[in-house]
């Protein structure tokens, strides 16, 4: 396979696809030059679409998110240029499917929220011990202590007795655009509307600070229903795969 740099790969895709966005979360939010709320236009117009980004812990892996119409074309480009092996998400050739949502309205800017706040370095060891899906103790250092992204944080929600019920982690993916990284509600607080309260708080925090709210990965029906219940608009049904370089 051909050795290729991230920059060369991006240029190849730009030369062959209609709509390619660069995005890095390696403290380089300026690399994403087009706002999230224009993603929908790329899909509505039937254009080829690809969003490229990499993770802080493994910059040599490229994630490519693309619409269904671009799947075969992307595969052909990678084969023609003999670009290193692809690691699919999921068990099919189309990669892992998920849906993206955004919210950019300026409505209800004066809403108030009860028992919700940004977590601080003093909020430690809040994870649910028996859960394998509660990552707060893992991500706490990145989002709260070291703040490895330019603008990131964890929003916590509590019950009326100040018991920690769940959280929403977010980070800035481009200028004036914040993305939901992860939402988790502890098991005994589920089905009580806590996730919706967190997402609404995130949305209205962004309204007051002149940011677009982005929910990049609604990977199942429950996540999609949550986003829609908070007024988010679908902007992309996309597929994702990793490209080793």
Delineate the domains of the chain, giving CATH numbers in brackets. 6-99+239-244 (no CATH), 116-236 (3.40.630.30)
Q: Does 85 have pLDDT greater than 80?
A: no
> Model-level pTM?
0.71
Q: Each residue of 176-206: pLDDT tens digit?
A: 888 999 999 999 999 999 999 999 999 999 9
Q: Each residue of 142-168: pLDDT tens digit?
A: 899 988 887 999 999 999 999 999 999
What is the Cα–Cα distance from 2 to 83, expressed in whole angstroms? 5
The tokens describing 9, both together, are 């790969």
The tokens describing 164, both together, are 């920690």
Provide the b/e sequence for 118-156 (b: ≥16 CB within 10 Å): ebeeebeebbbeeeeebebeeebebbbeeeebebbbbbb
Higher pLDDT, 73 or 56: 73
Instruction: Please calculate the CA angle 123-196-183 and round it to the nearest 5 degrees.
Output: 50
């Amino acid at each position: 396979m051909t050795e290729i740099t991230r920059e060369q790969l991006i240029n190849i895709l730009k030369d062959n696809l209609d709509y390619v966005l660069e995005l890095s979360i390696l403290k380089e939010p300026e690399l994403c030059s087009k706002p999230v709320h224009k993603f929908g236009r790329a899909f509505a117009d039937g254009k080829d679409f690809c969003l490229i980004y990499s993770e802080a812990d493994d910059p040599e892996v490229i994630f490519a998110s693309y619409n269904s119409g671009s799947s075969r074309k992307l595969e052909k480009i990678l084969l023609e240029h003999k670009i290193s092996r692809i690691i699919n998400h999921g068990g099919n050739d189309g990669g892992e499917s998920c849906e993206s949502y955004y919210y950019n309205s300026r409505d209800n800017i004066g809403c108030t929220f009860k028992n919700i706040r940004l977590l601080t370095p003093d909020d430690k060891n809040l994870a649910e011990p028996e859960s394998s899906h509660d990552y707060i103790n893992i991500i706490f250092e990145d989002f709260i202590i070291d703040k490895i992204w330019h603008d990131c944080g964890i929003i916590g929600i509590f019950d009326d007795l100040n018991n920690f019920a769940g959280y929403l982690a977010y980070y800035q993916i481009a200028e004036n655009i914040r993305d939901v990284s992860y939402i988790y509600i502890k098991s005994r607080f589920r089905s009580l509307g806590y996730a919706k309260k967190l997402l609404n708080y995130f949305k209205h925090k962004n309204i007051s600070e002149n940011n677009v709210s982005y929910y990049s990965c609604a990977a199942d029906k429950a996540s999609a229903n949550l986003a829609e219940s908070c007024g988010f608009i679908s902007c992309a049904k996309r597929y994702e795969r990793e490209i080793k370089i």
